[in-house]
Structure 1
């Protein structure tokens, strides 16, 4: 534990302190003895305490210190002299992590601030294991009851935020704080804007821009330790620094520091940097440097044999001050993250003035040197790679990457490894002490005749990680010609007797292949089937057999994918293994067709998954018209990588003839450019489309219904009459229609999903009878005998309900069963009626909305929202009424009818 104290502040430390270990034990009160006390200047001492503790179980623990010495008068908390001082370090003990070192905060918090100038502080933390460090701010904390309070809670301190804490830039504690010019600010300051108090999460640079009121301020910096593990990033530790910032008024101006730009170097390179600082007041300047690079190594060596990893020396103190940084990097320094060196410039003003600082972080990334002397030699279907033993034996793996054809990219020390944009794919890895690798494409064999190019690089172990630069590229063309699928073309379209022709190239090699040799042809359903779904179709022992017609397939409904395997022996001895060369699989072309909404076109879409290139050559479209015997090419479209589309449109004003079969297929045209193999013609299955009928729905004469004496006379008085047409201009061409399906929806809709099948018929007309309303929508589809095709839905035909309503002007509720209730003489379908009757003096005698047809029996009662009162007969005479009617049409039309009625018994 390291404490920085000022004896003149009244908050100095004792020679002994108390440490809590986080597992329910503690050192004992004042049992930890101070090991050293070093004067740093400006009345500040560095106090170091060493202690040791053994934990019984893997877990996360917080090792903490509770002091009773917080200084009084701190501006951004209340009653600071009565609050304990708390810091802690979280450690994680886990066998998976192995030995871990907590972050070390190398730079002391001893600098002063002044109003209206930027204040800077950086802990210059480092981690010996190379773990990632992240920085964040937090409020100061204390433990209620001090040490005794921590002991009383089971020796586990319970820290809480100090009362009324505010960050130093808060207007409540530092009013009228404004941002000032700060060229090194990131982001740049808004000059004159409200003061800011921030820390860079990556570099740890704290910036207060700027103080406004002299005084004492406290803040906590938390340094988080993150480790990359096989399971992802993991937070394994934290270190807390609670520091005091003293803001003194002074006429002194901050010095300005200049450092080199961030760099990336190769392990073994010497890093040199010139540091320069100037002071606006001409004062002398002291330069210092902090960071993990200045630790003494090796750690386990005796003290007299340790050396510094890096050195910094000041070469001039007078303005401008200069310094020199030197570091000879080694393989042990390779890491994924840059090393951070904090340079600090402190001016030495005249007596009585406060010294001020500037500080900057120099980030240095060390990458591994590239592997050397990569070479490639060929075998029948494999490439043997060799290289020199990698010079950094602390690397963990050598990663091997391959691409087809050469790629020239410039090595970038700040971006080691191989960028994805270079087009290489990792094909393997070996331990860093290995110097060879055999690439046979995971047993599938490499293709002869292709140019394969390789690069390798080294990867370094976690947690520090890191990569090397990539090696030089080496390329090789394997002798001979590979086996390749070239055709998967549909020869016959049928549900059971379909056929696909599969063709592949004959492989060759100088001197021939070692027997036994042969082919295995495999098949699976679909365009992208899983590898475990392929089944063997046929095996061949004659290498001249490169064509096979696969029969008895359902090519009408399914696409198929084929894989060819070439087998031969790797050598002539009995111990040599069988080589299985498996080029990429290839599918048939799958075609789909659908009529446009307006029936003025047919949209074709096709898909495929093949290893050759279909983009350079056009795809041809073929159509067979109704009653025609042959297909005719009607168009070409640009080839696609895995799909295509075409819309077969008729001239303006024309439509495809309804109820007839239009059939299509497409033929793709591809090539293997690298092997100069082409053209490769592959046909889809035939896809036939039955064009839909044209539907007409006979209108209902609403006026004639409204002119009847009474309507409706029954419970289901409506019938809708449908008829449809198919083309008959070419005799005999529509005989392939077997029957028609009629679909119905009681609501107005254009979505076929809202309809239900109500009947089927072989006729071209249909009566939908016994309906409560004529409001309805319909469509029909045709079903063909040939290929069991179903047409697209016809046009949707709808008509609405009629709107008429007429009440009589007399009824006789005398119980004789004739004209006993008041109801409409004429009415189209009604959803709801609210009926109200009044006597001649305007008194309501009846109200109801329960019966759409009213059915008032002359009683004096109110039926509204379920409220039934005792009824009595109204007297004979004249009554006035109001009927609010909601009709059962698509729109739910509402109308109000008013009139009078005579009751006579």
Structure 2
């Protein structure tokens, strides 16, 4: 259209395997006289697409560019273009400007962007999200070539991975004209629920009063199952209507490019506005909740998109279930275009029902009996797109089974007692489960099998049964115990309570402090903790504090002096039918603080001295924290960057220290990476042996060698004691060499790997003296660098003189 030809090339190629492949099309010549490159008529036109074959990313189709690639411009008038890219796979697209390509697909060396041709302050740029390319405004008449890179990105295992790329290379023809471009009314992004109608007006005005043609481009207009419709008149008034269905649901929004083009003028100008439209999945309907014992059974109707979405979305689709306690009030409902559930609204993700065809889920979380819980369900598709949250449904967990309330250690020892209690099932259906009733208590050490204790005496009335029991002969000193109670009706099992564990006190020792924490295993919620301490067996417990959360740190203690602790937990259920607080005590545990705190990493500075082939290392305590027990340092070194640091030397010093590295050449190199650690005093540890703490390393500081390998240009093997051998003038930081000497006919007469050389002017094979003359030397010096052994290659000449007189170069 508009004098532009479209040429389509088709071919088939089989690629050998995964990789990134460039698909290129080259034309021998561009138009003559393109202003933003030199010799354009002699420069090939070349475009390319990148094909990424990645088994993890899966199948991919390249982005389709739906807006033709030639636009005219008027001098000093704003210009705009949008390629209207559509990705069939729903991948995210990003846009950027790149230089045009020429010979062999390389970037054209002389290329500049259009706004760099003139000295004016015009701006040529592209929006990386929408692809809107703007020029405000052309300053010089002529032709310009520009290239747009459109990249495709896909979420692969939680990371955005590039899965493809296309290049648009287009021409802009800037002409002198009095025309002004139309002006479209800006539009904000929007959304539409699949299965509903989206309708909105599109308007434009023309400053010159010219008639206009309004059009719409983009995926919804031509690339989807249920296409949109756009009707417009020549007065700049249009109506967009789209009723997408489930087939159009995807995570990335669709982009519709609206184009207003005037006509009647010699040069027709355009204005472009983009609107991104998200197609949102409807929620599941008919959500219901029914309590079954300590669990909640959720059901809903089959999803309305079950048979309508693309297979890529249906694969891996799940229904995510979210829960909140009704006691945490919220008035949140999904807003327009809002999918999922915001984290701040008090809902907790509890699990997923796999498959779009799933219609139920069992919440087996730690639910409180008698508490009211509210649920919403969000559908999550295979591409990560979310539905609107479902309507909320609330239900109360019935108390139709016993509820554990106590598992409290009374005394600590190898054969002692625990008080175990529970609350009776006050909401049991006694018609379905008639008496007589009985309880059976079971016990197990943590990690062991359950052992049933004696069944209680039956009673005709459920509430007449005892709901507590002392359990004796338990090792409460070294084992944590679990308990559960079963209810029997007329000799048949009704069900069991959730288990409850004795609070297990764990103590972590550190320098002058002990950290106390509880390992829990009970369904009730902890509200506060009473912390007590005593100096030893037989001494009374003293209350230290009441805190709302653990761990609790007891500070200011004397190292190596043991103390004993116990913690009492005060807890509750959300249900008002269970009295609170629930008081449960841990076992008594004793520990002594030890110094396990390492000093802060010290500060290190390294100063290299190339001429001396040594480094000066200086280090000292960090000013970031106060360490009053640093008594020694360790210096670590690795010869190459990336190697494992090894201990170089230890220093017994508490203050600032200095050391020279390779001072006598003992290390063979001054290069390497260094770090320093600080050590504190030697003190007895928990087992009585002396130990000390070592800090983390300081910042690692690396220095490089300064390799030198200088060769002379003359030597005189004539029998006097001077200059008898071909040896380096100076060398350092060289591991080995490959030095070869050739005569004028190319014959090799000498070779060595010894950096000291020591050639006396004799032939390599026979040892016979060689005649005077100029010999050619090729040298590869394998220098010792921080990155490893690096070859340094060069060529030179050596003049062999045997006479007693010499005129030097």
RMSD of aligned Cα (Å) = 4.4
State whether structure 2 residue 46 is matched by structure 1 residue 86. Answer: yes
Per the alignment, residue 885 of structure 1 pairs with none
* SS of residue matched to 1:51: coil
In structure 2, relative to structure 1, the CA distance for the partners of 1:127 and 1:581 (3 Å cut) is farther
Task: Say if 1:489 and 1:588, in contact at 8 Å, map to a contact too.
Answer: no
- For these two proteins, the number of residue pairs brought into alignment is 587
Instruction: Give the match for residue 471 of structure 1.
Output: 390
1:550/1:241 Cα in 2 relative to 1: closer, same or farther (>3 Å)?
farther
Change (3 A) 1:420 1:572: farther
**Pairing of 1:836-847 with structure 2 (within 5 A):** none
**CA spacing shift, 1:76–1:451, aligned 2, 3 Å:** same
Matches within 5 A, 1:401-480: 401-406=321-326, 408-422=331-345, 423-435=347-359, 437-439=360-362, 441=364, 448-462=369-383, 466-480=385-399
- The alpha-carbon distance between structure 1 residues 275 and 607, as it changes in their structure 2 partners (threshold 3 A), is same
Cα deviation code 1:36-70 (max 9, x no counterpart): xxx32xxx314142524253655454433211231
Q: Which residue of structure 2 aligns with residue 164 of structure 1?
A: 110
Residue 346 (1) aligns with residue 261 (2): yes
CA distance in 2 between counterparts of 1:571 and 1:368 reads 51
Aligned to 1:174: 118
Please tell me whether the aligned partners of residues 492 and 498 of structure 1 are also in contact (alpha carbons under 8 angstroms). Answer: no
1:404 Cα offset (Å): 4.3
Structure 2 unmatched ranges of 5 or more: 457-466, 595-626, 634-653, 655-679, 692-809
Q: Is 1:520–1:536's contact at 8 Å kept on the other side of the alignment?
A: no
The 3-state SS of whatever aligns with 1:161 is coil
**1:180-579 mapped onto 2 (5 Å cutoff):** 195=123, 197-229=124-156, 232-295=159-222, 298=225, 309-317=227-235, 321-348=236-263, 350-351=265-266, 354-393=267-306, 394-395=308-309, 396=314, 397-406=317-326, 408-422=331-345, 423-435=347-359, 437-439=360-362, 441=364, 448-462=369-383, 466-480=385-399, 486-487=405-406, 489-492=408-411, 497=414, 501=418, 503=420, 505=422, 508=425, 509-511=428-430, 520-524=442-446, 534-536=447-449, 538-540=451-453, 542=455, 547-549=470-472, 551-552=474-475, 554-555=477-478, 561-564=480-483
Please report how far the alpha carbon of residue 259 of structure 1 lies from its aligned counterpart in structure 2 after TM superposition. Answer: 4.0
Matches of 2:81 and 2:75, distance apart in 1: 16
Correspondence for 2:505 among 560, 578, 589:
589
TM-score, scaled to structure 1: 0.57
- Counterpart among 53, 75, 82 of residue 12 in structure 2: 53
TM-aligned CA distance change 1:578 to 1:243, over 3 Å: farther
Offset, 1:240 = 1.4
| Alignment pair present for 1:644 and 2:561 | no
Q: Does 1:667 align with 2:568?
A: yes
Aligned: 1:74 with 2:20: no
Residue 375 and residue 210 in structure 1: after superposition, are their counterparts in 2 closer, same or farther (change >3 A)? same
Corresponding residue for 1:679?
581
Query: Offset at 1:592?
Result: 6.0
Counterpart Cα distance in 1 of 2:682 and 2:303: 76
Q: Corresponding residue for 1:898? A: none
Among 112, 123, 132, the residue aligned to 2:92: 132
For residues 168 and 201 of structure 2, what CA distance do their matches in structure 1 show?
31
Measure, in 2, the Cα distance between the counterparts of 1:266 and 1:670: 46
Change (3 A) 1:666 1:471: closer
CA distance, structure 2, for counterparts of residue 416 and residue 366 of structure 1? 11
In the TM superposition, what is the alpha-carbon distance from 1:141 to its structure 2 partner?
Answer: 0.8
Cα pair distance change 1:56/1:471, threshold 3 Å = same
Q: Cα deviation per residue 1:257-286 (whole Å; 9 max; x = unaligned)?
A: 114321122111111121111233333332
CA–CA distance in structure 1, aligned partners of residues 281 and 372 of structure 2:
28
| Cα distance in 2 between the residues matched to 1:782 and 1:97 | 57
CA distance in structure 1 between the partners assigned to 2:488 and 2:6 by the alignment: 75
TM-score, normalised by the number of residues in structure 2: 0.63
Verify the 8 A CA contact 1:58 1:92 in the aligned structure 2.
Answer: no
Structure 1 unaligned segments of length 5 or more: list them: 1-38, 144-157, 179-194, 299-307, 525-533, 597-602, 650-655, 693-748, 756-774, 794-905
CA distance in 1, matches of 2:398, 2:252: 44
Aligned position for 1:874: none
2:567 and 2:690 mapped to 1: Cα distance? 21
Contact 2:438 2:455 in 1 (8 A): no
CA distance in 2, matches of 1:570, 1:169: 88
1:560-617 alpha-carbon deviations (Å, 9 max, x no partner): 65544567899999xxx99776557664233567896xxxxxx564212435677644
Does structure 2 conserve the Cα–Cα contact (< 8 Å) formed by 1:453 and 1:476?
yes
Query: In structure 2, do the counterparts of structure 1 residues 516 and 162 end up closer, same or farther at CA, with 3 Å as the change threshold?
Result: farther
1:100-119 equivalences under 5 Å are 100-119=60-79
Q: CA distance change for structure 1 residues 289 and 661 in 2, over 3 Å: closer, same or farther?
A: closer
Q: From 518, 529, 550, give the equivalent of 1:608.
A: 518
Worse-superposed segment, 384-393 or 542-551: 542-551
* 8 Å contact from structure 1 (residues 398, 456) kept in 2: no
Separation in structure 2 between the aligned mates of residue 382 and residue 688 of structure 1, nearest angstrom: 39
Could you tell which deviates more after superposition, 475-484 or 122-131?
Answer: 475-484
Q: Is 2:191–2:279's contact at 8 Å kept on the other side of the alignment?
A: yes
Equivalents in 2 of 1:447, 1:633: separation in Å? 34
Q: How does 1:137-148 map to 2 (within 5 A)?
A: 137-143=97-103
Paired residue secondary structure (2:455): coil
**Separation (CA, whole Å) in 2 of partners of 1:667 and 1:253:** 81
- Please name the residue that 2:665 is paired with: none
Distance 1:595 1:475, change over 3 A: same
Shift of 1:490: 4.7
With over 3 angstroms needed to count, the CA separation of the structure-2 counterparts of 1:604 and 1:128, relative to structure 1, is closer
Q: Is the 8 A contact 2:419 2:468 kept in 1?
A: no
1:82 positional shift: 0.5
